[in-house]
Each structure stands twice: as structure tokens, then as C-alpha cells.
Structure 1
Amino acid sequence: MQSLRDAQIGAFTFFASPLPHDVCGSNGLPLTPNSIKILGRFQLLKTITHPRLCQYVDISRGKHERLVVVAEHYESSLKDFRKPSKPFSPEKVMQIAYQILEGLEFLNKHRMVHRALCPHNVLLDSQAAVKLAKFGLYHMTDHGADVDFPIGHPTYLAPEVIAQGSFHHSDPLFKEPRLPSGPKADVWSLGVLLFELCVGRQLLHNIDISKRLKFIITLGCMDDIVTVLAEEHGCLEAIKELPENLLTLLSKCLTFHPSKRPTPAQLLVDPVFEDISSLYVPYNKPVGLFSSLRCAHLELPENINELCKDDGEDYLAERAIDEVYYLWCLAGGDLEKELINKEIIQSKPPVCTLPNFLLEDGESFGQGRDRSFLLDDTTVTLSLCQLRNRLMDVAGEAYYPLLEDEQSNLPQSNSSNDLSTAVSLPLIIRERDTEYQLTRIVLFDRLLKAYPYKKNQVWKEARVDIPPLLRGLAWAALLGVEGDIKAKYDSIDKETPIPTDRQIEVDIPRCHQYDELLSSPQGHVKFRRVLKAWVVSHPDLVYWQGLDSLCAPFLYLNFNNEALAYACMSAFIPKYLYNFFLKDNSHVIQEYLTVFSQMIAFHDPELSNHLNEIGFIPDLYAIPWFLTMFTHVFPLHKIFHLWDTLLLGNSSFPFCIGVAILQQLRDRLLANGFNECILLFSDLPEIDIERCVRESINLFCWTPKSATYRQYAQPSKPMGENINGSFGKTSTFYTTDYQDLPKTDLLREPMKLSELKAEVSPRISAEDLIDLLELSGPVPFKTPMKRAKAGKPKILAVDIRSMEDFSRGHVTGSVNIPYSSAFGPDGELVQCPAATTLASFKGRVIVILSHALKSAAMFAAHLVKVNYPRVCILDGGINKLKATGLLTVPSPQI
């Protein structure tokens, strides 16, 4: 995006053509409104950046098919200099012509034409450089098919455009598509515009529109159109005095037959611009963040003190125009209100909007055609005063933050401003705070431009929050996306038909179609391409229903960068959904659901007992949760907040999210039976996502790393990879996956699925036990876990062997509760000193130790039955610890 600098932000509005309400498409679904189609096509315009083009920023959709477009704007235009009192010199006219052609050629490279070229759409910045405006109107309206007004001013339309006439797809006389205008139509418009600049008056301004169009058509029988126009306007002498190169340019532009008229690209290299072309440097588009090679061109002034700007410097103007508009909206900006204040939008009483009835004899009753539905070409400048007032107290240093040492583990902003108060506020408030978002956007912008060098800094700042404006790039950084992703994406065959095409076509119209962007035809096309690219590039996996929902957040955030959406999706699935999309994924799903059941029992045994009693198992409700990482059950705005945290956790974090959701529904689940629970999950109640995220982090910090071990999880990676920071200084565990730890004899061993299902409580590794008990001794490894050094111990080891076995060697700090004497005939815990100790640790992690794992599992199941939370079993039993030398024997009493 270009910076604001001396530009302004402007807005203009128009209506899309309404569609009949009782007509459906070939798929049986209602027709997509034209305003949605325009909104989808508009997104491409935001990527068109060039010094000769006004940058498009945003589009919003209002009532009755109204669209409001926001773009870079300048008050000065060629319309102001079309008077004899302000004539341009021939040299200046040639420079303007060359600059306009530069913009037109760039558009042509993107398969676009202007079609609305006229003096008031050729703006001039403070340096009198050309900026073409409204160049996207023809593209976004599908060459004018989606609106009820013609694109372009009649005086400047090329003869071939006028000859086609006005048409609309809903017109009964319209039988086949008309050819859209080509680049040469703009060259004619340029010729008329330049002619007016040379003579200092408007062409054919005293003739009504129908006569103007007829006159332009009759120019086809003239040999010298420039001379004819000059004679018509009484300025033949002025035209003859023009330099030869300018006359030649006018003649070439005003060539009647399109086949003989040059294109903008051909004119740029024409000898008429021989003296001018050397004054302009060809535009090179900046290299994107994810490319094979990229660098920043930096120029330092000779006097380094020039970098220190005055207090009155407009720092906001140095920011990208999309950032300024985003902050303008946060500061209370309202597009419709601005247009209403300028009387562009005028409300009418309902009686004035009655339809017009036509009788068989041709007589009409009612209102005539509402001219407000035609194009009002006025652009309203959005005032930034309110935004500047909001940012008045923001220090200049906030716009240029220093990036402190990467090794800092403090979860706070690196900005020079004190944001500690704002960080403690709810996320939804922080996202609407103008000053806070400014500092976060500036900071993330700097960190992302330095990615991957500042990858650790991005991780640290993401633990605070992620600014919505930069969420797409921030997610890509958190997922480790690097390299020339566009080249890889372009190399994938997305056109050849494959068997999955039919299923993708069926799923896309049902995926997050409440969102205007994803429901647009352009959204469907991009959906199809990204999904197909993933299927084709992963031949060992298959398309499962739900993959479209998984793709939706990435596509929404990277709508104009399919390659990045594909790269993020390709990095996300192996991390969180490894082998979920195998042709036969039953063993992977079943293991995942079993571990989830154990997590419910571990964190909320009362709820687990109730759900098991009524037979409401995770298979009935949780498969869509995990197969789509909750994108199938939550709207996008909730998914964004949920995934901001999910991407900071490892592959076990989704278990904690699932438990947190159940705990929000806990009271209703405990009060209902099987049928009521089924109905409850068929239409999931409103979930507080911020609370869900907060509780998920707490559950994650209480869960031993090895408790969520899965045999079918992603294989281990070499040490040093995927070592990310924790959720914050209060976190107990790192976010590395358990599978990423160095292999030792103290890790968990794989077990059969049938054995896993038979156990209510999860197992933990001997390594986890040693770390959580903070035992010291000849341990042949270094644990990467963080421990809570202060406060009460979070774990109690319960040795259920006989007293004799316990006395021969036990873990320091463990208590002995023999299994044979622990429970009464009714399953209650027998009162004894050890049981009292056990009760005092209720709520903290309890690890059951035994020789026999079967008895340990039964003991743990009894504790869960009496609602003891956080109960787990030592994998491998007490024998795992014998080789460590950590078993102690009590000294004989003297």
C-alpha cells in the first residue's frame, strides 16, 4: 500500500442493479446479488499499486444494493485546468499524456481498462503528477453489466463503444454477451482529453448528449479528425501552432478505426515521447514478504541529524493509506454519515419510492425512474481531523519503535509507550482502541518486514495480541511460512479435472456464505483453486468434508493472495490435523477422540461421569470440532480470536479448547439427558470466545505434556525446530509437541487403541513426573519444561503398592495408599491419614504409581468416579524409575 503523504481519502457511492427475488440459479440457490459480485471483484483492485494510479482502499455494502468505495483522492484534477485562463504548455501536455499512458499500460498488464477516462478522473498530486482515479469501476461492475448506468462520460467514449450502445444483462433484447472494451478505447478518450487541454475548452459542450454521440460516430468518414474538431470549435489556428510531436500524438489517439489506433504500450515507445521518456524511471513493484529474494532500498542522508524530525511532523501521513483508513474507522469514522452530510445520500419518504406501473396501452402511473440509482460521480473527501485529535497525544517515537532484545520473555509490547494498562483490557476493547491499535500495527509492520529474522519477536508479541489489520501475515509468520510461495503455488495444476471437483463444487456454496466476501463469485473461484491446489499437491491425502471450512479463515485473510492462503493451510494441517485427511482416518480420529475423553475426565470428572452415564460420547459431537478446528461451528470473527491463541499452542491445545467449550455448557449438560444434549449440540448456543480462550490456556498449563500423547501425531522433528515460546510467564509448559522431545527411556510408549479406550485417565511419562516433582539425581537428560517455582506443589504422587513394596523403594514425596485397602464396598475412599493427604491435594495433579498398570488404571477410575480431577497414571509403572536412581529407601529408625 502507498503511504498517505499529501493524499486524502475519498469516497464515492453507486447502486448495483437489483435482481428479482423469486429467481434461483441453476443450483437451486438464490441468485448472488450484484452488489456481492462487485464486492468480490473489487478486492483485486486493492492490489493494483502504481505511482500513476489512485490506490483503492475498501468497499462497503449498504442497504438496497448501495456500495461505497474508498480510495486515494486529490482535490486537484485536469478539470480545473481546462479553461483558457489556465492553459497547459505543449511540453506539460506531453508530460501529462506520458504519465496517463504509464497508468493505462500498467492497467492493461493486469487485463484491465479504464473506460471512464475524463478530466475529473485524472487527478494531480502536490507535485502536479498524474493520478488516475475510478479506473476500477469498469472492472468491478463486470464491464458495466451489474449496474444500471453506462461506464464512462459520453463525450470521451470511443466510437466503437458508442456504436455498441447501452445494454444490460436483464434487457430482454440482450441475447449474447457484448465484447468488453479494449485498451484502445482509453487511447481515444486520452486523445479527446488532450485536445481539450490544448484548446482550453470542453469538447462539444453546447450540444446535448444524443447529438454529441451522433457527431462522434460521423467522424468515421473524416480523414483528419483533429482538424474537423478544431474547425467545429473555432480553434484551428491554435491547433496549427502546436508542436509537431503533440499533433502527431493527437492524430494517433483520435484514429477512428480501432484496428489502426495504437495501444498505450505502443504509444509509450513511440518517437513522439523521445524527449520525455528519459525523464521517467520505469516502475518496479516492491517485492512481497514471501518471495525468494527481497531487500529494502535504504538511503541515509549525508547529515544523519535529518532523520530526527520536528515535533510538528505529520507522522500519520507516513503510514500506508489502508492503515490510516482502518484507524479512521476505529476513531468513529462513518462512511454513510459523511455522504449524508454532503447530501450525496438523501433519504426519501416511502411514498416517494412507489414503483412505476405500465398498462397495456402504454400509459404509466407512479414515480418515474429514480435518478439516485444512477451514478453520482462526486467524490467526498473524508476528514481526518477526528483521527488526528485522537492521536494527538501519541508520541512520535510510537511510529518508529525500537526492537529490543529477542531473548526477553516479558509478554508486553516493545513500544516506548506504556501499554500495560491497555493490555489488561478485554481483547474486543483493545481491538477498538485507536491509540493501542496504532502502536500494535506499527510494531507488527516492522517485525513482519524483518521476518523471518524477527520470528521470535513476532511470537512474543502475538502472545499479547495480534492486530486484525495484519492478522493474515502474522498467522503466516506463526506457521513458519517462508520462501517463494507464489512460484510453488503457480506450479500446481489447478485446472485439470479431478474426481474431487464435484464434491468441492457442492461444499463451497455452503461454507461461511453469510460472509459477503466468501459468498461472492470471486470468493468461490478462489475457494476452488486453493482447495484443489491442496488436494493435488497432497496425493497421499484426500478431500474430506470440512476441508472447505478449514480453508475459509486463511482465504478470507489472504483473499488477494491465494498462494499465501494455500501455504498457511498446508502448514496448519500437518501441525494440528496430521493424517486426519487419510482415505481411512478412522484409527486417527478414534485415538484423538479417546484422548479427548481422557482430557474431559482429567479436568472435569463430574461432567465426564455424567456424559458417560447418558452415553453422550465425543463421537457424537466432537468430530466436526476437531476435523475443522472449530471453523464448522463458529463464525469467522470468533475463529480469528480463537486461532490467534491456537497458533501459539502445540497440537494438543485443541483438546483444551474442546474441554473449555464443554465447561461453558456445563450446567445445561449436567441438567439434561441424552436427547436434550443432542438437541443442544445440533444448534450450539452462544459461546464466549474470550472466556473460552482464557480457560483453554489455563487448562493447557495444568495438563502434563505427555498426557496428550498420540501415537498417530506428527512424527518428531530434529531438536531446535518448532521450539516456540509459552503463552506467557504464568505458563507451566512450552508449546513444543511431546513428539518433538529427544527420545529417552522415560518417554511414553505407544499403546493399542483398545488399551487406550479401556483407561479413563491419561498416562504421563516418567520424565513428566520427575520434572513436576522437581526431583534431582542422576537424570540422563534435560527437561525442556518450565516449572512453577513458587507456591504449593502442583502434583502428588500416589503409590498404590503394598506397604512392603513401598518400603523397598519409592519416589520421594509420594504417599502410600495400598490399592487393596483404599476403597470400601460402595466405592467410597476409606478414611486414613494417606486419604486425608490425598483429599488435601484435590484439584492438583495426582499421579498413580504401581507395578501393574491395570490396577493403577482401576484406582484412577475410582478417583474419577468420586470426582477427583487431574488424575493420571505413570506410564510403564514404577519400574520405569528404577534405572534413574530416584527411588529412595527410608532410613531405619533407631
Structure 2
Amino acid sequence: MRPLRDAQLGAFTFFASALPHDVCGSNGLPLTPNSIKILGRFQILKTFTHPRLCQYVDISRGKHERLVVVAEHYESSLSDFQRQGKTASPEMVLKVAYEVLEGLEFMNKHGMVHRALAPNNVLMDHKGNLKLAKFGLYYMTDRGGDVDFPIGYPSYLAPEVIAQGSFHASDPSNEEAPLPSGPKSDIWSLGVLLFEMCAVRIFFFWLRCMDDIVTVLAEEHGCLDTIKDLPVNVLELLRKCLIFLPSKRPTPAELLGDEVFNEISCLYMPFQKPLSLFSSSLRCAHLELPEDISDLCKEDYLSERAIDEVYYLWCLAGGDLEKELTNQGIIQSKPPLCTLPKFLLEDGESFGQGRDRSFLLDDTTVTLSLCQLRNRLKDVGGEAYYPLLEEEQSSLPQSASSQDLSTTVTLPLIIRERDTEYQLTRIVLFHRLLQAYPYKRDLVWKDARVDIPPLVRGMAWAALLGIEGDIQAKYEGIDKDTPIPTDRQIEVDIPRCHQYDELLSSPQGHVKFRRVLKAWVVSHPDLVYWQGLDSLCAPFLYLNFNNEALAYACMSAFIPKYLYNFFLKDNSHVIQEYLTVFSQMIAFHDPELSNHLNQIGFIPDLYAIPWFLTMFTHVFPLHKIFHLWDTLLLGNSSFPFCIGVAILQQLRDRLLANGFNECILLFSDLPEIDIERCVHESIKLFSWTPKSATYRQHAQPPKTTAVTDGNGFGRPGTYYFSDYQDMPRTDLSREPLALSELKAELSPRISAEDLIDLCELSLAGGGKRTRAGRPKIVAVDVRSAEDFNRGHLSGSVNLPYSSAFGPDGELVQCPGTGVLHSFRGRVIVVISHAMKSGTTFASHLVKVNFPRVCMLDGGIIKMRSTGLLTVPSPQI
């Protein structure tokens, strides 16, 4: 969106038509309220950025089908000129005509017409440039079918529009709807508007011409000839605009190229649509400095921010649309007694209230005051609006006020998202980083670890997923219209997917849902549509509602990373391996809970498939998914395991206290989950999980390039950020296991290279240590003392298998006491000669509730080729 500059934020309100409550649609579901239909259609209007159109910003839905629209606004309009009683000069008439036609032509290219063109909807900025307001009212109301009032002003409507009469879409008596207004209808309205500007004494002139206005006004000889002293080109322009027959009347595009504008058209530069972030064109090709360099040094920094950004901050600063409209008398509350319905008796006598005029259109636009917002931001220094990206210091700009914004980052996320000053600094920072994407991709990753501002979440997610190139051309090249067998299932699933959200439940939302899902199915012929794919699509579609191509691109990048091969026709082997690794993660982090769930038979197959198949979108509402995925997108494909364990740990007490049936009931209606706590716990669990412990044979194959970061999430003690599958394969890597063998093991395996890295064996001084100075990992060698003395890892502890288990595998000594007790809480890596003995030993540690137990894949044999085994010095 363009900057606010000298514009203001304006709001106007109207009511959508109410639908009967006892009528259902063809699918058996209640009819979609007209206000939600309007809300869905409105969204595309926010993308229209043109110098001759007022920018639409937002629409909100209130009680009783009330809608409030927020848009760019200016106090001055052509109606002010009319009230002055002056006659416009020929130059001004041509200027007004040309600029209005530019706006109308742009609308026509997008399949829309104004229909409500009138002097009060032709606004002027401080430079005298015209901007059309309320141009989307006809489109968003489905040509007036979703409201109880006509769209347009009778004095300016074209004859063919008036001849058709009124029409209401929900009225069953209207069997044939009138034809929608076309671009030529606006030309007539423009002609009347220009005609008024040329008339000196409009009122008396119209009285004189009223009798023959319809038949004579637009003809070659008539009332137009009575206007004296008009240049030929202006008179010719009026004649062409006021042609009675629509078939002979020109369109805005045709009139713009007419010779009457030969002298003025050269003064206007053709409009160039701003390039999107994801395109094949050079975004900086047309950058120019302003003519007056002082424009870059204005003190009003807020006016240089985008209109939607200013409105978002206005809301955070306490802005309330309905309150503003109520203060101006636009919204008037009535006692319930005054709103009783009207009813008729048999004799025709009526009682009750007449038609409430407030439900008709009041086109008054209320200016939203920015004083409260400016006062809130008065102590924010100019450096916050222009942060330096390459500095070593914190990316959070320092406020000039006594409260340092850097302390805000320690507050809960929900508080940070409602803090006006904090959100301003974060939005400005991300805006600059995203403008430099992909060059500043690393900094986007870095700052996303702090948090992601909700206003830029859609673009930030796209950057985190590595979206690049001309995504629009690719999306348009996919056939989304030809019927396919999956269409029926998609049609059934969409009306059940996050339909509590007004945007996704709108007809436009359903159409976009259908197109994006079908594009994904068609473009991935090796995969199939599974129930849950619609839930995966929902967050991306919500954040990119006006950019289907970006929603599709994000979804196409997300699924291979986190759900590789989950949507195969036969995905049982993929899901079973995933659930088995998840079971091992539960045992690794919370063995007591794992033992209880295994004992009662409450396995992940019963509850976790919807979690991972939809990445929790089927479980949580969208506002929680946004916070969860802000962190998920920073992690690798193993991070969902940690989220799952964190959810179980929030329900830990209830799970431990209940049996199988109670647990089933608990998960059938999942209790409230604290998402912020879940995120923090997931990061902590992730930092304690060796990267190879979550290795899956059916995970995504290694990519040619991988984003790696040895510091994980930037927290002390974290291990790895990149996927283990992305690391180069060596002789020390983990070997794939058969599913049956994997299921037989309670504890996960880690690779030899992982153990070497964690123990820092290439460095002098022994094991890796935590901030408290204790080793974070300990290797427990369960071979015999003789084998141990022949060669072992430096710093490892020898606890022979034979001392704990008999020759038949029976337990001889409980290793839960003694030397292992001092290792509780560390990552315990069991090293054996044969994996069977190591598996048995690790399983027993889990059964006696030792956390963070894993095994060395391949045993000591994998370590013999490394040269890292040591032999004890002989005793003298």
C-alpha cells in the first residue's frame, strides 16, 4: 500500500440485508449471511493501488449485519466546488474528466464499475489531484443484491440504469435479474458531473430543461447548445458522455484515447503497477529520488508509513470504529421497545415501527482522528523508522522514552502484539528486511526468532519458506478448472474447515480454498488429496487471501519440509515410522508418561495422526496456529515431535491419573492448551534432542543447499537447527532400520558423528559442558570390563551389561541406583557391542524413569574407524 502522507483515514457504515433464519442452502447448511459475503468480496479491493483511487484499508462486521468500511479519505471534494456556485474553467473540466477516466479505466480492467459516481465521491488531495471514493460499493454488495438500498445517486444514474428499476437478490419475486451496470453507465454519470461544472446557474438551468432532459440533453441539438462560451473540445466531450443509447456511448478506455485529450494526456505519466516481492522482474529498476530532497527529511515520520500500517497501529492505540461513528451520530442506539417489529391485522391495520431509516445507506464518511496514535508515538525517535540493519547491537530500536523497548521482548507474546510502540519498531524492521529479500534472508531468520509482527506474518512466512521467483506465472499455468475426481471431496471438506472465521467462511473464501487445493493436487500428480490438506491450506490462505499464488507457493514449500510423502496414496509406512519416532521422543523426554501410556495401550496412533497430518491446524484455532507456526517454521522437520511432546506434558497430570477410556475422552475434546508455554517447552525439548535421534528413513531426501545454524534457536545449550537428513552421509551416519525393528526399541538411536560432535571429542578437555559446568551428555559403555579396557571413548562410564542382566536377559541388578543416579538429567548414550544388549539396557533405563536415554547406532564398531578410542594407561 502507498504511504499515508496528507491523506486521512475515513470510515463509513451500512447494513447488509438480513436473511431468513429458517432457510438452508442446497448443501443443507444455513445460508451465509450477506455481511460475510460482502466481507469476502471486499478483500480484493484492498489490493487496488492507483493514483486515482482511494485506497481501501479494512472492513469490520458488527451486530445486526452492520459493516464498517475504512478507506483513504480527503476532506475536499468536487461537491465543495459546486457549493461555491462557480463555473469551472475548460482546463479544469478536462483535467477532472481525464483523471476520473483514469480511475474508471483501471477499475474496468479488473472487471468493476463505480456506479456511485457523484461529486461527493470525487475527492481531491492537497495538490488538487482527484481520487475516486466508494468505487467498490457496487462490487462488494454483488451489484446491490446484498443490501436494501440502491447503489448510486438518481441524479447521476444513466437512463438504462433507472429504466431497470430496483433489484434485490433475496427477493423471490425477481425471477429475472436486471443486467449489471457496465463501464458506459459511469460515462453518463461523468457527463452529468461535468455538465454541472459547466453550468453557471445549475438549479434554474435544470428546471428549464427538465421536461426534455432524457430525450434532448444528449442529442446533437438540445440543452447542451444553451451553454455558451465552451471550447469545442469540452462541448464534444459532454456530447460523447451524454449519448442516450449505451451502444453508442464510449467506454472509459475509448474516451481516454479520444482526441479531445490530445493536449492534456501528455501531462500524465502512465500508471505502473508496483512489482510484488516475488517476481522475476528487478524490483529496484524504477527507483527515483523525489524532486525535492527535503521531502525525505520530514518530521512527521508516521505519514510516510503505509496506510494499512497506520490503521493497524491506530487500532492498537485504542482506536474503535463503532465508537467513532457513534460519537459522530452515525450509529444511534435505540431502546429495545423502539425496535419492536411491525405486524398487520386481518383488516389490514398495522402496528409497530415503520421502516428504520438507519438501515438505509448513509454515505457520510467520518474522519478517524490520529491524535491518540501520534500522542502514543511522540517519544519514539526517528531512528525507529529508519533502523540500521548491519549493526551488531540488538535489532530493537531504542525508544527516547524512559521505557526501553528492549525490555518489552521479555513480556508474553500476546502483550507484545498489543504494544503500539513495540509493534511499530518490529513492523518497520521487517518491512525493510523483506524489501531486501532474499539478500537479507539471514536477518529475517534472526529477527523471526524474537517474534513476527502479525501485520507482516504472511510475507515473513514466505521468506522463511524460501519462496522465490515468478510464483504468479507458475500458479496461473496450473489447470484449476478441469474437473478431477478429487473435486467432490474438496467440496465436502471446505465448508467444515475453520468456518468460525468470517473470511474463510465467505463464498470468496470457499472459491479461493477450492482453487489453491486443486492447484496443489494437479501440480503433484504423485500425491493424492487426504482429508486434512484443507486444514494445512487454511493458515496460508488466510494470510494471503488476496494472493492465491503465494498461498499455493507457501503450501507447496511447507509440505515437503514437514510432511514429506504424507500424502502418498499408500502412506501407512510413512505415518507408522513417524508415530514410532514420536513414541521414542516421548520416552526420551518423559519416560514416566511414556510408560503409563504404553501400559494402558494409549498409543499415538489413537490421537496423534491428525496432529501431524495437519501440523496441528486441525487441533487449534488459527490465532494459536499463527503463534505455533511462527516457531515451527524456524525449526527443522523434527520440531513437530517436540511440539507433540510439549502438548502431552501440559496434559501430563490428567493423563497419568486416568486410564484408557478417560484418555480417549480427554482427546476427543482437547482441553485448552497454552500455546506460548507450548512453544517455549518445544524449544527446550528441541535443544535437548540430538539431531540424529529423530532420523526417519522416509523423510525428505537431502537438498543441494541447506540452511544450517549451530546455535539452534539462539538459546544456551541448543544443538542443531538443520535437518539431519540434509547433512552429508558418511560411514558414521545412522543406518535405516526396518519398521518392525524400529518399533521394538523404546529409546531412539543417535549416529556416531552425532556422538562425536556432542562430546566434542576432537577438542581437548573432554565432554561438552552446560552453563553450570557439568557435562550435558554422558556415554555409558555396557560392554565387559575387558572389552572396555581394550578401547573406549574418552570420558565414558563402564557399566557392564552382565552386571545388570543375566545370561537369559533377566534383570540382576537395578541400575537405577548407584553410579547412574548421578547421571540423571543428562543425555545418556548407551554404547554396546551388539545392539540387542544395548537396546535391552536402554529400555530398562526408560522403564525405571530415566529421561534422555538413547543408543549409539551400530555400537562401538562404528567408533573403531575414527581413531578416537582410548586405552587406559597401565598401572605402575
* TM score, norm. by length of structure 2: 0.96
CA distance change for structure 1 residues 205 and 97 in 2, over 3 Å: closer, same or farther? same
Q: Report the alpha carbon displacement of residue 767 of structure 1 after superposing the two structures with TM.
A: 1.0
Report the residue type matching 1:639 in the other structure. Answer: I
Out of 213, 216, 219, the residue aligned to residue 222 of structure 1 is: 216
The CA distance in 2 between the partners of 1:344 and 1:226, in whole Å, is 45
Query: Alpha-carbon deviation of 1:176?
Result: 2.1
Alignment correspondent of 2:835 = 853
Q: Partner of 1:522 in structure 2?
A: 508
Distance in 1 (CA, whole Å) between partners of 2:632 and 2:62 is: 34
Unaligned runs of 5+ in 2: none
CA distance in 2, matches of 1:420, 1:328: 22
Deviations 1:680-718 (A, max 9, x none): 000100000000000000000000000000000000123
Match of 1:425 in 2: 411
Q: CA deviation at 1:197?
A: 1.0
**More divergent stretch after superposition (676-685 vs 883-892):** 883-892
Partner residue, 1:135: 135
Q: Deviations over 1:744-794 (max 9, x none)?
A: 11110001000000000000111111111121279xxxxxx9985762111
Deviations 1:14-34 (A, max 9, x none): 000000001000000000000
CA-to-aligned-CA distance 1:255-293 (integer Å, 9 cap, x gap): 111001111111101111111111111111111100001
Deviation of the 1:173 alpha carbon:
2.3
Are 2:18 and 1:18 aligned? yes
State the SS of the aligned residue for 2:168.
Answer: coil
Deviations 1:597-629 (A, max 9, x none): 000000000000000011000000000000000
Instruction: Specify the code of the residue in structure 2 equivalent to 1:46.
Output: K
Match for residue 249 of structure 2? 261
1:744 partner letter:
T
User: Is 2:150 the counterpart of 1:162?
Assistant: no
Counterpart of 1:133 in structure 2: which amino acid? A
User: Quick check: 724-733 or 490-499, which moved more?
Assistant: 724-733
Is 1:596 the equivalent of 2:578?
no
Between 290-299 and 791-800, the greater mean CA deviation after superposition: 290-299
TM-score (norm 1): 0.94
- Alpha-carbon shift at residue 200 of structure 1 (Å): 4.7
Structure 1 residues 384, 787: CA separation in 2 closer, same or farther (over 3 Å shift)?
farther
**Residues 786 and 427 of structure 1, relative CA distance in 2, 3 Å threshold:** farther
Distance 1:545 1:720, change over 3 A: closer
1:277-676 aligned at under 5 Å gives the runs: 277-296=265-284, 297-300=286-289, 306=294, 309=297, 313-404=299-390, 412-413=394-395, 415=397, 417=399, 419-676=405-662
Q: In structure 2, which of residues 718, 723, 748 is the aligned counterpart of residue 762 of structure 1?
A: 748
Equivalence for 2:785: 803
Q: Is the contact made by 1:157 and 1:185 (CA closer than 8 Å) also made in structure 2?
A: yes
How far apart, in 2, do the equivalents of 1:524 and 1:503 lie?
13
- The amino acid that maps onto 1:258 is P
1:34-49 alignment, distance < 5 Å? 34-49=34-49
For the 8 Å contact 1:82–1:202, the answer to whether it is kept is: no
2:686 alignment partner in structure 1: 700
Confirm or deny: 8 A CA contact 2:706 2:722 kept in the other structure. no
Q: Post-superposition shift, 1:678?
A: 0.4
Q: Is the 8 A contact 1:24 1:31 kept in 2?
A: yes
Q: Does structure 1 conserve the Cα–Cα contact (< 8 Å) formed by 2:759 and 2:768? A: no
CA shift digits 1:348-376 (9 cap, x unpaired) = 01111111113444332211001100000
**Is it true that 1:55 corresponds to 2:45 in the alignment?**
no
Cα distance per residue 1:196-226 (max 9 Å; x no partner): 111155569998xxx99xx69x645337558
Q: Which residue of 1 aligns with 2:5?
A: 5
Contact 2:566 2:574 in 1 (8 A): yes
Residue in structure 1 matched with residue 858 of structure 2 by the alignment: 876
Aligned to 2:801: 819
| DSSP 3-state at the match of 1:739 | helix
Change (3 A) 1:786 1:69: farther
Deviations 1:400-438 (A, max 9, x none): 111116xx6x8x425355532011111111111100100
**Counterpart AA for 1:244:** V
Deviates more, 1:69-78 or 1:837-846: 837-846
Aligned equivalent of 2:714: 728
Instruction: Report how far residue 743 of structure 1 moved.
Output: 1.3
Cα–Cα, structure 1 residues 284 and 203, in superposed 2: closer, same or farther, change >3 Å? farther
Q: How far apart in 2 are the matches of 1:55 and 1:226?
A: 38
Identity of aligned residues (%): 77
Measured in 1, the distance between the counterparts of 2:840 and 2:559 equals: 36
Between 194-203 and 96-105, report the one with greater CA deviation. Answer: 194-203
**Is the 1:759–1:861 Cα contact (8 Å) retained in structure 2?**
yes
Distance 2:534 2:246 in 1: 45
> Matches of 2:397 and 2:35 in 1, distance apart?
41
Q: Matched residues in 2 for 1:219 and 1:788: separation? A: 90
Shift of 1:388: 0.1
Q: Could you tell me how far apart the structure 2 residues matched to 1:721 and 1:382 are?
A: 45
Distance 2:844 2:218 in 1: 101
Would you say the 8 A contact 1:87–1:198 is kept in 2?
Answer: yes
Deviates more, 1:76-85 or 1:713-722: 713-722
Partner-residue secondary structure (3-state), 2:47:
coil
Q: Report the alpha carbon displacement of residue 227 of structure 1 after superposing the two structures with TM.
A: 6.5
Distance 1:512 1:788 in 2: 44
| 1:719 and 1:741 in contact (8 A); partners too | no
CA contact (8 A) 1:460 1:725 kept: no
Alignment equivalent of 2:696, drawn from 710, 718, 723: 710
Matched to 1:160, the amino acid is E
The whole-number CA distance in structure 2 between the counterparts of 1:19 and 1:121 is 30
Structure 1 distance, partners of 2:205, 2:67, is 30
> Per-residue deviation at 1:295?
2.2
Structure 1 residue 893 and structure 2 residue 872: aligned? no
Q: More deviation in 821-830 or 294-303?
A: 821-830
Q: Which residue number corresponds to residue 782 of structure 1?
A: none
1:757, 1:640 → 2: CA distance? 33
Change in Cα spacing, 1:115 to 1:722, as seen in structure 2 (3 Å) is: farther
Query: Which residues of 2 match residues 685-696 of structure 1 at below 5 A?
Result: 685-696=671-682
TM superposition shift of 1:345: 0.3
Range moving further from structure 2, 843-852 or 819-828: 819-828
- Look up the SS of the partner of 1:600 in the other structure: helix
Contact 2:396 2:426 in 1 (8 A): no
Residues 724 and 871 of structure 1, relative CA distance in 2, 3 Å threshold: closer
Does structure 1 retain, via aligned residues, the 8 Å contact 2:707–2:722? no
How far, CA to CA, are the matches of 1:690 and 1:442 in structure 2? 24
Determine the structure 2 residue equivalent to 1:144: 144
Cα pair 1:602 1:869 within 8 Å, conserved:
yes
CA RMSD across the alignment: 2.3
Measure the CA separation in 1 of the matches of 2:353 and 2:185: 36
Deviations 1:422-480 (A, max 9, x none): 11111111111100100111110011011001100100010111010000000000000
CA gap of 1:281–1:786, structure 2 versus 1, over 3 A, is farther
Distance, in Å, in 1 between the alignment partners of 2:343 and 2:504 is: 37
* 1:12 and 1:70 in contact (8 A); partners too: yes
Contact 1:797 1:849 in 2 (8 A): yes
Per mean C-alpha deviation after superposition, the further-off stretch among 353-362 and 877-886 is 353-362
The 5 A counterparts of 1:831-846 are 835-846=817-828
8 Å contact 2:760–2:768 — kept in the other structure? no
Q: Which amino acid aligns with 1:608?
A: S
User: What is the deviation of 1:294?
Assistant: 2.4
**Residues 29-57 of structure 1: CA distance to partner in whole angstroms, max 9, x if unpaired?**
00000000000000000001100000000
The answer as to 2:757 corresponding to 1:771 is yes
Q: Aligned partners of 1:425, 1:14: CA distance in 2, in Å? A: 39
SS state of the match for residue 587, structure 1?
helix
CA distance in 2, matches of 1:351, 1:205: 48
Q: CA deviation at 1:730?
A: 2.1
